[in-house]
Chain A
């Protein structure tokens, strides 16, 4: 089990893991608040300023899974994996324009989740349920994938095992995470994010400086990867689309994957939780300016897929490319540091995801549909319990179901999550849409997106649009249908349901004036 363990790397790895576990428990005392209050436990009391939020939101959106998955696509097929860059360039104008408005109305009305807001705006609890259900459904496999990211580095440390014992380190790590999340709430990932992000930046800077020095510069890295792709494409008889540039048939999928993912990302409960936990609207605006630093980092991490080619790393599972690149180029102690950075990188988003999903389940599914009489203390207690259940559930999911299944669900999750975009974001700017019309649009998008993704052999992300000769990301096709249905029905059935928000609720304190 531990005969081939890399001891120096493992010692550094365990040391950092213990450090963040202590921080996770200690975080309960940071910026003291009553943790029996859901708004304190689940949103850190809405008092995180620009610095804390930069670490927290960055640590939340750029997950361990991203650090493994994006370079693995780049390693396998090249340029296509870089869709992550236009995607992250599209995200921040949206964050800047829409989210200070959502924050303002959420703060005035004490909304904790996107579904809370949708209920307040449209007075339709079925639309609230649709938004909440989509969030919980899409988040659970995403947590499971964080575990997959962690397990990749634990394997690369040299840990071996049979059956359930092979998952022992992962299970211990995740149970500790589940315990301090339910104790400290959002404060735990906020505090750990400082350590995680600092470590990831050190890891990335070390890679981008040292690897080109060892391999003869970036030109040589690109050339080596390009030559490998040419060989692979030739070996496949021209069927495989891979290379340093996009093949013509990859261009539309590349563009639409970037657009569709943009609709989805900020709708996830974990994104909402991190964004709504800030102190004021300007904290969001400043972060729309400062968070792109993480996108540059993601671009550099993506390049590791090419570095692995140049360093002669050959793995059958592309997801092993980054761990093996690190093993090839760094001394053991720094391998431990890098792997710890990736593993801790899984803890922050996993904690926030479980908090976001737990808040959503408690407030928007349990309360309206099971027990409307629940009091605020019981609500917090239930959310804490749910965060435990969701994390343990994700762990069991990874131990019992195949990784393939988690990946498929994650792919579908992106398509599904984009379908709540009209209900959440359009409402911030106009009340023209009606709740039932948005609900019908959501149902159309969910159905169409899932149907397009299904093929007899596998779930696929892109599909030729009716009659066209190019493929489009299913999330985009589905959201177009969603918006069409919502618009037509809103025109036919004007909105008469109660709206508890007013125009002035959407304006945060004007910039430059002192907070009231």
Chain B
């Protein structure tokens, strides 16, 4: 479970056909680009939550 949470954004980033599109754009960025850039902080946040969970 813990490892699944850690891996989730990475698994999304491997589902390339799903995000290999231009629309919807965000601030001029095609979907392909803003999704990948957004997955990075999401991955970081999930790792932080797992870390907090382990510490308790």
Contact = CB atoms under 8 A, between A and B. Distances in A.
Given A88-B40, A90-B10, A288-B47, A217 B17 contact: no
Given A97-B3, A251-B16, A511 B54 contact: yes
A85 interface: yes
Interface string B1-18: 001001101100110110
A222 interface: yes
A86 B36 contact: yes
Interface in B18-56: 20-22, 25, 27-30, 32-33, 36-37, 39-41, 43-44, 47-48, 50-51, 54-56
B4 to A, nearest CB: 10
B31 to A, nearest CB: 9
The winner among A93, A96, A219, A296 for most chain B CB atoms within 10 A is A93
A221 interface: yes
A89 B47 contact: no
Interface stretch (A123-131, A252-260, A351-359, A439-447): A252-260
A427 interface: no
B6 A244 contact: no
A79 B51 CA distance: 33
Interface string A88-119: 11101100110000000000000000000000
A317 to B, nearest CB: 25
A222 B40 contact: no
Contacts of B9: 89
B36 A93 contact: no
B6 A222 contact: no
B32 A244 contact: yes
A89 B10 contact: yes
A299 interface: yes
Contact of A218 (B13, B27, B32, B50): B27
Given A289-B44, A292-B41, A292-B43, A93 B10 contact: yes
Contact of B51 (A85, A289, A293, A299): A289
B16 A246 contact: yes
A97 B2 CA distance: 10
Contacts of B6: 93, 96-97
A92 B6 CA distance: 9
A82 interface: yes
Given A82-B33, A258-B14, A299-B40, A220 B28 contact: yes
A296 B37 contact: yes
B13 A89 contact: yes
Given A96-B50, A246-B20, A292 B44 contact: yes
A290 B44 contact: yes
Contacts of A255: 14, 16
A286 B51 contact: yes
Nearest to A85: B36
Nearest to B54: A511
Contacts of B37: 85, 296, 299
Contacts of A220: 28
A373 interface: no
Contacts of B54: 511
B40 A245 contact: no
Given A89-B10, A217-B28, A296-B41, A251 B20 contact: yes
A372 interface: no
A163 interface: no
A39 interface: no
B39 A89 contact: yes
A79 B10 contact: no
A238 interface: no
A295 interface: yes
A124 to B, nearest CB: 29
Contact of B36 (A82, A218, A285): A82
22 contacts: A79-B20, A82-B32, A82-B36, A85-B36, A85-B40, A86-B13, A89-B40, A89-B43, A92-B43, A92-B44, A93-B3, A93-B6, A93-B7, A96-B6, A96-B51, A220-B28, A246-B20, A251-B17, A258-B13, A290-B44, A296-B37, A303-B33
Interface of B: 3, 6-7, 9-10, 13-14, 16-17, 20-22, 25, 27-30, 32-33, 36-37, 39-41, 43-44, 47-48, 50-51, 54-56
Given A82-B32, A244-B22, A251-B17, 19 more contacts: A79-B32, A85-B13, A86-B14, A88-B40, A93-B3, A218-B27, A219-B25, A219-B27, A219-B28, A222-B30, A246-B20, A255-B14, A285-B47, A285-B51, A289-B47, A290-B44, A292-B40, A295-B40, A296-B37
Query: 8 closest Cβ contacts across the A-B interface?
Result: A219-B28, A218-B28, A86-B13, A93-B6, A85-B36, A292-B44, A511-B55, A90-B10
